[in-house]
Structure formats: C-alpha cells, structure tokens
Amino acid sequence: MGDRVSGQPLPVKQICPINIMFSRVALPFAKQAVRVNATAPRMAIRAFSAQTFLDRAEVHDRVLNVIKNVGNKVDHSKLNEKAKFIGDLGLDSLDVVEVVMAIEEEFVIEIPDAEAERLLTPAQVIDYVAAHPMAK
C-alpha cells in the first residue's frame, strides 16, 4: 500500500474515496490507522457456531460402541452412562487409557492428560466429546 516510486504510504486522500470527509481531529488518527493496518500481519480467527458440535445422541452411541470394542473386556450388560470404568466395568487404568485413545481416534480429537484423568464414566466422556468443537 505504498507509493511505487518512494515506497512511502499514500496520503489518506488518495486511498479513501473523495466523498469521505475527515474532521481535523479525525484525520491524524485515520492516517495512522491506514499506516498501521497496511503493514500489520493478518491473523485468522476460527469461530464456532452451534452447528459445529455433534449431537449428544450420536456421541452417546459412538462412545458406548467404542467402549464395547476396546479389548472386549467390558460386560455389555453392565455398560451404561453412569457405570465407572474402574470398578463397575472391570477396567484397570491401562484399559482406561486405551478407551481414551480409542475415543480420540473415533472423534479425531486430542484429550489432554489432565482432562482424561477426570473422565471416570461414559457419561463424562459423552459430555466432553459433545462439547468439543473439533469432534467429528
């Protein structure tokens, strides 16, 4: 956005349409804004709408299916949203790590270790995935 010969920024009058008038107070700020904005790097911002989140019913079915298929250690009759991985479902800590890894793979997300330690039941996993904007 500079003059081709000197490389200096163009005056505001040459950049802005003629019908836009600036007051004496606003003109210095406008010139500064044009100079700053012309050289400032652009950053992309990703915004999420309500449509980017998966339906909870779909997440529920997929999570329970993943848990059923991890190592075939879970008694399907005991599997429900409120059952605890360690205890009710008979999984040990390594099995829970496998469940978390399988969930990450299924929904193409990454669950930080601190969050994974708080996921003790299928319901907590379902809520976490349903609220995750990147889950697919």
79 and 28 co-located in one domain: no
Residue 135 within a domain: no
Residue 26 has a pLDDT of 61
Query: For this structure, is 92 an active site residue?
Result: yes
Which CATH number does the domain housing residue 75 bear?
1.10.1200.10
Do 64 and 120 sit in the same domain of this protein?
A: yes
Predicted local distance difference test score (pLDDT) of residue 29: 61
Q: How far is CA 24 from CA 9, 10, 14, 36, in A?
A: 20, 18, 17, 19
pLDDT of residue 88 exceeding 80: yes
- Return the SS3 of 63: helix
Is residue 10 a contact partner of residue 30, using CB atoms and an 8 Å limit?
no
Neighbours of 106 (CB within 10 A): 17
* Same-domain pairing of 106 and 56: yes
Please give the residue range of the domain that contains residue 72.
50-130
pTM over 0.75: no
Both 121 and 66 in a single domain? Answer: yes
Catalytic residue among 61, 92, 95, 127: 92
Residues 100 and 116 reside in one and the same domain:
yes
For residue 2, report the phi and psi dihedrals to the nearest 5 degrees: -120, 170
